[in-house]
Structure 1
Amino acid sequence: MTDTTPATARAMPRARRPKGVAANAPGMRAAVYVRLSRETEESTSPERQRAACEALCQARGWQVIAVEEDIDVSGYSRGLDRPGLQRILARLAEFDVIVFFKIDRLARSTVDFAEIMKITQNEGVALASASEPLDLTSSMGRAMAKVIAVFAELESDTIGMRVSNAHEHLRREGRWTGGRVPYGYQVAPNPDGPGRVLVVNPEEAKTVREIVGRVLEKDSLMKIATDLTKAGVPSPGHSSRQTSGKRTDSKQWYTTTLKSLLTNPQLLGQVIEDGKPILRTDGLPLVTRPPILDMDTWHALQDELKRRTGAGERRRHNTALLRAVLYCGVCASRMYTYTSKGRLRYRCIGRLKQRQRTGEQGGCYGPSVPAEHTEEHVTGQFLEKFGSLQVVRMVEHVGEDFRPQIRQAEEALSDLEKDRYERGLFKGDDGAKRYADQYAKLEDRLASLKEKQRNAKPAGMEAVPTGRTFGELWKAADVEGKRDLLLEAGAYVEVAPAKRGAQRLDTSRLAVFFGEDGKIRRADADGKDVEEVIREAVARDLEMT
């Protein structure tokens, strides 16, 4: 077939330069690449880099057909994953040469530089430095370029180490080194010298304490997040928070936002680096700013959050109200919801589980009850028994109680072991000695704390009124929150078989239990340690007397 496309419209193939030909022939098509990690680097500003590259192109008679920049982009941490560089590599068929100011502007890693050389060589594209007299088309020139890249990588590592050490030194002195400001704090001038420090933000700290109080009162995170959003309370925001410490204008709260906030040890005044607390020489977390929460409240908060995510108690959004509360009176299995004729019901699936486990039919026929009427009956029983009672929060008087410090030291020992054996830290000639010294100090501290605890006056428990009744909490709670209230009250409902021919729910089929009796029955039905539940109940009674 004859090609009828006009000659002027056809794309002409690019003439490939033979290997060994220097990249200085006139008429070549050039792409200029500019990179800068920070805009404050005056010595290699984007304007200066571009001017030097364009001057080289003009001197050699090259035509600049593309200029790409990566500003505020690290060549070390980002590797080849840089927008400007990727745009050039995607258009290599249009270029004869890539011009850059210095090799360290193109790549900070020897591996990255070698990869760029390999890609451009395969496409017949030359590399040219505007400030280094290298011919990268010859074997000797490429070897010299790799040597320069090695020293560029070494310089980058050295700079990174110096900056990291300087930041750690400043953090240990209590100064703020920039980055995201933890929620609950704000930046202020250092009263004891140069630089800036973090101090408590009164409004945000008040919000944090109110959130913690509601969590300890068993409010669900979904309910708390919804209330904060409706009230227009500024949220911690996301990654858009600026390094100057400014907040976003976001007032949207999510459960993930709350979880991240409530599990952040910076609320204790600890200094965090790379997601982990900086440790003192004795292995305990470094505290250089006023804490928002005291240690007792922090541990109570973490225990409550852990309880909510513990095995067997994980909750789903919009979960059934009586899930883990309703049990079959025939086989003692939990009852689950299903839909029949458009209506929600609870039924026992013990027979199905038996068939799945053994292949045989069980003795239970799978009794069921209507969800609406059953939930109304149990709700009425709960409110009748607890509705007018005031919710109390159990507060532990520390006194001479050293358990929080013991727990902190044990966690520090565990983190120290993970640092060495899982994260591969404490390397180098003196790594083993530093690890052994730090571990020994922590062990000595732990032993000393345990000895003090053995001789300490036992801590006491006090029931502190919250000013709210169970009825008020129930009215304000969502389905998850109401289910939590039932479980905390020890609710256990046993469903007896239905009488033959019965059309409506006979409430006499429902045996409702609360308190320790209900908790013991539920533990027994779930195959848990009943004796442990009894021991915990006895221990609570003794602490209250």
Structure 2
Amino acid sequence: MTTGPGMRAAIYVRLSRDTDESTSPERQRAACEALCDARGWEVVAVEEDIDVSGFSRGLERPGLQRILARLADLDVVVFFKIDRLARSTVDFAEIMKIAETQSVALASAQEPLDLTSSMGRAMARVIAVFAELESDTIGSRVANAHEHLRREGRWTGGRVPYGYRAVPNPNGAGRVLEVNPDEEKVIHEIVDRVLAKESLMKIATDLTRAGVAAPGHHSRQPNGKRSDSERWYTTTLRSLLTNPQLLGYVIEDGKPILRTDGLPLVTRPPILDMRTWHALQDELSRRADRSERRRVGTSLLRGVLFCSVCGGRMYTYVAGGRTRYRCIGRLKQRQAGQAVGCYGPSVAGKALEEHVVSEFLRGNGHLPVVKIEMRAAEDFTPQIRQAEEALKDLEADRYERGLFKGEDGAQRYAAQYAKLEERLSSLKAMQSDAVPGGVEEIPTGKTYAELWEESDTAGKRDLLLNAGTFVEVAPAQRPGKKLDTSRVSVYFGVEGSIRRAEAEGKDPDSVITGADRADLS
């Protein structure tokens, strides 16, 4: 490789963020052009990678790839400094290797290196090592600074979490996050609708139509990054509702930062209380279950209606423009290679549903509806384990790693150890008095008839299931257009729940035990 006048040069410019005036793209390009003018090189190409990280992207940078793709037409690649070309020693060595195979020289505008000689290339590798070390050191300092700011309760920048807003720190420098009243109201409205069994799709559609600013809307992001998403989607809602930042937690890398006592670090007012949060997560988990998703939008009697011949569930199908229920036991038996013992009886859907609803409201319409909520058990075992591990780490810091030296160090060690021991003792006491999980009955103030009128198909089906409704259909004895109600058996309460458990292959004893407990209470 030679570096004489008349060589064809390509200038490469890279900047992670277009905010650093000292290494702006214009400054980099001007320095590279000055070097080319001084050497008598002809600039035939200029490629830039702006807002592109050389560390995380490696060689996968558009501008760099365009230069590497046309090395056969070049004699030299000019860059501002080595750290603009590559952020790691491995990447720099790879670029040098590729350039050498094409007899293309590399030239730095700011570093006096002759990369056409073995000694010059060796020195370049040494500089690249120190550039990589500097990059790692800067990253470590930034991470430590952010960690310190988070633990002080200050905002470190980036995207403002929905439900909060960045304001000047009233207790000192920097900015902090406080609850945004308007967005807090939106969150509570969303949570209430989710807990009321409304679909995420409908909630997202309503919010978009109402013009409520989405988390990525430009109107709510005066500071930090934004996604430019001005519409609400189900993914937007799920991401928002599963974010622990609603509890006031400080999040790093998608996980809450823990204090020395093992509990999450809370530096801002929570938007949701813990009980509402757990109820919300339980409801979202229920919806994530495939079996639960299949229930939405299906027929009224799905999971309620069974065949009296084979005991299997009956499903809907459309014949002649009308909906009917039928048993598919025959098909299942044939697919399983079993002897066919059920011919698959069917029944008119509308007439059957009207009959079952009439029976349900006649026997249950006047009864009050009680909402059953599972009360999560209190368990402090994870926090106890974290506190025990923190104690072990503290002991290792002093007796194995040699920290906490001197009289002041011993005092600091003793104070931290006493604090952790106190926390551990408190957690163990809380665990010994922990409230076990159970079922809580909450009156709704409405009757089954009132709630029935307000509910959609999925809600009405839930009412039937919660009331222990079990419907069994026998084969038709004679043809006819009207429903023969003598072939339909409808059961409610404990008897219906026991029959349904038996039909689904479950243990009916649990139903009986639950009924006994209800009678005792």
- Whether 1:163 aligns to 2:142 is yes
Quick one: structure 1 residues 247 and 101, their matched pair in 2 at CA, closer, same or farther if it must change by over 3 Å?
closer
Quick one: structure 1 residues 218 and 363, their matched pair in 2 at CA, closer, same or farther if it must change by over 3 Å?
same
* Structure 1 residue 31, shift from structure 2 partner: 1.4
- Whether 1:294 aligns to 2:294 is no
Among candidates 357, 360, 365, match of residue 343 of structure 2: 365
Q: 2:60 & 2:428 partners in 1: Cα distance?
A: 50
Among candidates 231, 239, 254, match of residue 260 of structure 1: 239
Give the structure 1 partner of residue 472 of structure 2.
Answer: 494
Quick one: structure 1 residues 300 and 122, their matched pair in 2 at CA, closer, same or farther if it must change by over 3 Å?
same
Q: 1:471 & 1:138 partners in 2: Cα distance?
A: 91
CA RMSD of aligned residues (A): 3.9
Among candidates 337, 341, 356, match of residue 316 of structure 2: 337
* Structure 1 residue 384, shift from structure 2 partner: 5.7
Task: Deviation per CA, 1:479-509: give whole Å up to 9, x if none.
Answer: 5455445444444332222224344433443
Quick one: structure 1 residues 123 and 166, their matched pair in 2 at CA, closer, same or farther if it must change by over 3 Å?
same
Quick one: structure 1 residues 120 and 248, their matched pair in 2 at CA, closer, same or farther if it must change by over 3 Å?
closer
The answer (yes or no) to whether the contact 1:282–1:441 under 8 Å persists in 2 is no
Structure 1 stretch 191-200 or stretch 437-446: which is displaced more? 437-446
The answer (yes or no) to whether the contact 1:180–1:243 under 8 Å persists in 2 is no
1:242-253 maps to which residues of 2 (within 5 A)? 244-245=223-224, 252-253=231-232
Q: Which one-letter code corresponds to 2:343 in the other structure?
A: Y
Structure 1 stretch 239-248 or stretch 474-483: which is displaced more? 239-248
The answer (yes or no) to whether the contact 1:223–1:478 under 8 Å persists in 2 is no
Give the structure 1 partner of residue 406 of structure 2.
Answer: none
The answer (yes or no) to whether the contact 1:308–1:315 under 8 Å persists in 2 is no
1:141-220 maps to which residues of 2 (within 5 A)? 141-220=120-199
Quick one: structure 1 residues 316 and 476, their matched pair in 2 at CA, closer, same or farther if it must change by over 3 Å?
same
The answer (yes or no) to whether the contact 1:277–1:285 under 8 Å persists in 2 is yes
Q: 1:532 & 1:160 partners in 2: Cα distance?
A: 58
- Whether 1:70 aligns to 2:49 is yes
Q: 2:301 & 2:503 partners in 1: Cα distance?
A: 15
* Structure 1 residue 276, shift from structure 2 partner: 0.6
1:81-96 maps to which residues of 2 (within 5 A)? 81-96=60-75
* Structure 1 residue 537, shift from structure 2 partner: 5.3
* Structure 1 residue 521, shift from structure 2 partner: 3.4
Q: 1:165 & 1:447 partners in 2: Cα distance?
A: 32
Give the structure 1 partner of residue 115 of structure 2.
Answer: 136
Q: 2:516 & 2:59 partners in 1: Cα distance?
A: 64
Give the structure 2 partner of residue 236 of structure 1.
Answer: 215
- Whether 1:531 aligns to 2:512 is no
Q: Which runs of 5+ in 2 are unaligned?
A: 402-416
* Structure 1 residue 176, shift from structure 2 partner: 0.8
SS at match of 1:67: strand
Give the structure 1 partner of residue 264 of structure 2.
Answer: 285
Quick one: structure 1 residues 120 and 346, their matched pair in 2 at CA, closer, same or farther if it must change by over 3 Å?
farther
* Structure 1 residue 150, shift from structure 2 partner: 1.9
The answer (yes or no) to whether the contact 2:381–2:431 under 8 Å persists in 1 is no
Task: Deviation per CA, 1:291-328: give whole Å up to 9, x if none.
Answer: 11111111122122222333643336643443323222
Q: 2:70 & 2:516 partners in 1: Cα distance?
A: 76
Higher helix share: 2
Q: What is the aligned-residue identity percentage?
A: 67
The answer (yes or no) to whether the contact 1:283–1:439 under 8 Å persists in 2 is no
Q: 2:272 & 2:441 partners in 1: Cα distance?
A: 19
The answer (yes or no) to whether the contact 2:88–2:131 under 8 Å persists in 1 is yes
Structure 1 stretch 193-202 or stretch 371-380: which is displaced more? 371-380
Q: 2:307 & 2:52 partners in 1: Cα distance?
A: 62
* Structure 1 residue 106, shift from structure 2 partner: 1.0
Q: Which one-letter code corresponds to 2:24 in the other structure?
A: S
Quick one: structure 1 residues 219 and 32, their matched pair in 2 at CA, closer, same or farther if it must change by over 3 Å?
same
The answer (yes or no) to whether the contact 2:159–2:226 under 8 Å persists in 1 is no
The answer (yes or no) to whether the contact 1:109–1:153 under 8 Å persists in 2 is yes
The answer (yes or no) to whether the contact 1:188–1:196 under 8 Å persists in 2 is yes
Q: What is the TM-score normalised by the length of structure 1?
A: 0.79
The answer (yes or no) to whether the contact 2:307–2:345 under 8 Å persists in 1 is yes
* Structure 1 residue 270, shift from structure 2 partner: 0.7
Q: 1:110 & 1:240 partners in 2: Cα distance?
A: 43
The answer (yes or no) to whether the contact 1:126–1:137 under 8 Å persists in 2 is yes
SS at match of 1:313: helix
* Structure 1 residue 229, shift from structure 2 partner: 2.9
Q: What is the TM-score normalised by the length of structure 2?
A: 0.83
Among candidates 352, 364, 369, match of residue 331 of structure 2: 352
Give the structure 2 partner of residue 450 of structure 1.
Answer: 431
Quick one: structure 1 residues 524 and 320, their matched pair in 2 at CA, closer, same or farther if it must change by over 3 Å?
same
- Whether 1:303 aligns to 2:282 is yes
Q: 1:152 & 1:356 partners in 2: Cα distance?
A: 67
Task: Deviation per CA, 1:215-260: give whole Å up to 9, x if none.
Answer: 2222232332333333332222389985815877755322222222
Q: 2:176 & 2:125 partners in 1: Cα distance?
A: 43
Quick one: structure 1 residues 532 and 69, their matched pair in 2 at CA, closer, same or farther if it must change by over 3 Å?
farther
Task: Deviation per CA, 1:82-132: give whole Å up to 9, x if none.
Answer: 222223233333322211111111111222222322333333332211112
Q: 2:23 & 2:193 partners in 1: Cα distance?
A: 54
- Whether 1:52 aligns to 2:31 is yes
Q: Which runs of 5+ in 1 are unaligned?
A: 1-20, 420-425
Give the structure 1 partner of residue 499 of structure 2.
Answer: 521
Q: Which one-letter code corresponds to 2:309 in the other structure?
A: V
Quick one: structure 1 residues 235 and 520, their matched pair in 2 at CA, closer, same or farther if it must change by over 3 Å?
farther
Quick one: structure 1 residues 69 and 378, their matched pair in 2 at CA, closer, same or farther if it must change by over 3 Å?
farther
The answer (yes or no) to whether the contact 2:387–2:423 under 8 Å persists in 1 is no
- Whether 1:105 aligns to 2:84 is yes
Q: 1:108 & 1:384 partners in 2: Cα distance?
A: 76
Q: 2:199 & 2:429 partners in 1: Cα distance?
A: 39
The answer (yes or no) to whether the contact 1:391–1:470 under 8 Å persists in 2 is yes
Quick one: structure 1 residues 135 and 412, their matched pair in 2 at CA, closer, same or farther if it must change by over 3 Å?
farther
The answer (yes or no) to whether the contact 1:179–1:243 under 8 Å persists in 2 is no
Quick one: structure 1 residues 533 and 44, their matched pair in 2 at CA, closer, same or farther if it must change by over 3 Å?
farther
Q: 1:240 & 1:83 partners in 2: Cα distance?
A: 32
The answer (yes or no) to whether the contact 1:33–1:98 under 8 Å persists in 2 is yes
Give the structure 1 partner of residue 404 of structure 2.
Answer: none
Q: 1:453 & 1:173 partners in 2: Cα distance?
A: 31
Give the structure 2 partner of residue 9 of structure 1.
Answer: none
Give the structure 2 partner of residue 325 of structure 1.
Answer: 304
Q: 1:41 & 1:480 partners in 2: Cα distance?
A: 57
Q: Which one-letter code corresponds to 1:30 in the other structure?
A: A
Task: Deviation per CA, 1:35-69: give whole Å up to 9, x if none.
Answer: 11222222212121111111111111111122122
The answer (yes or no) to whether the contact 1:336–1:347 under 8 Å persists in 2 is yes
Q: 2:305 & 2:385 partners in 1: Cα distance?
A: 40
